[in-house]
Structure 1
Amino acid sequence: MKLLLLSNSAAPGRSYLDHAREVIAEHLDGVTELLFVPYALADHDGYTAKVAAFMDTLGIRVRGAHTAREPRELVASAQAVFIGGGNSFRLLKSLQRHGLVDAVARRIRADGVPYMGSSAGTNMACPTLRTTNDMPIVQPVSFDTLGLVPFQINPHYLDPVPGSAHMGETREERLRQLLEENDVPVLGLREGTWLRRSHDALELGGLAAGARLFTSGAEPVEHAPGADLSPLLAAEARFDCRPD
């Protein structure tokens, strides 16, 4: 599989996707047309146009999945698939409604089509939706997602702020709660970071902030950009965050 999973699509002071321009260009090398899945936001046309404006600078045409009566037909012929960010619950419900969960996963796994996700699109690459930060504004049929990696990701990971007056759970506390019920690694991707998978190799990239790996019964482990996280893929058969 060939995956590029971004924590975020925008960075302060930069235009849309510009902070990851180089790695996106490398990931989509040889691709002339990209299938974009805009269902995480309500304005599908506007969202697709935003992606198209960026991809045009790389010489790549963009087709919105929403423009076809049967989006699965576009998936079947896609050179690459990009699922953008927004609300993960709305996104997953739409993928399920259009029969795209299995269709996209099959193209990525069986045919080696490059997959790119940002934020909610990165959540979709996990076994389930359970580590999204989003509010459940709609109810999907299940939390099962594409399962392109055998661990969970928490995009936009925020570290606890010492002295904060906020009385709700920190992100760390919420992820520790998940591990009380599930034996599955969770990678907290800070802003400006991403994961690149090529077959059985997995590398952390991006800004100096890096990522934090949570596992059951252990303290979180820090990983800097450039870290080899391939051992997480070796657990493909063992870890599964989906219900029985």
Structure 2
Amino acid sequence: MNSDALTCPKCLRKLQWPVVPERSRSARVIVRTGNDAFIRHPHARIRLYRDDRNSGGDLVGHIGSWGGPTTLRYLLRFDIPQAFANAHVSLKAFKPTRALLKLRIADGGRHNGLPIRIYPLTRPFQAGSGKVTIREKESDGCDWYHSMPLVVWQREGGDYAEKPSAVAILGEEGERETIIDVTALIADRFKDFANTGIWEDPGMIIMRDPGRYGYYGYLTIHSFEAHRPGPTVISPELFIH
């Protein structure tokens, strides 16, 4: 790469570098903001609170099985463009080599782990502000049948692509946090952005792994709403290298 600066032919002053130097080291962007919602099949509802409608405003929620194999699901979408803008990193020039999702368990260690699978959503969702513990439900977000008010999922429980996907054991051996490799899912979003010039990311859906049998029950995790100021982070994080 030629490092000679452009010069003024009259005063011979250096004006600017002819090219922008390449990044000298790899970058890592941490994404901690976005939208999320917990949805559940009517068979998994808690009748006291009628919570099968929407729970996009809860600090914690459930992933797993209750009244069916994959009846408790979690939808989340990270605000990746905003995180890159805050970090002053070009989204267009960035080539991800690794992406890690970190989820925190809110069950206090009373679990042995839950096999989960993560799929890329193909339809955006609206998180809403409903909460499980409030009987009067807010119908301003997604649920098992709707991605947002008046918009029906093509497939009940969320529209998603079967491939690529990521697998993990959530809360294995009672651990309080789980790190999941979601490189394939995030790399696809960047690839589409490079081809179209438009950032489209409906998000992810997390459920109990439908291909693993013999596991029942559910785990409770912290949501984006659990974010709080200070050094301790308990809400979801996405690390993009």
TM-score normalised to structure 2 length: 0.20
**Which structure ranks higher in relative contact order (CA pairs < 8 Å, sequence separation ≥ 6)?**
2
Q: Which has the higher Rg, Structure 1 or Structure 2?
A: 2
Hey, which of these two has a bigger chunk of strand by percent?
A: 2
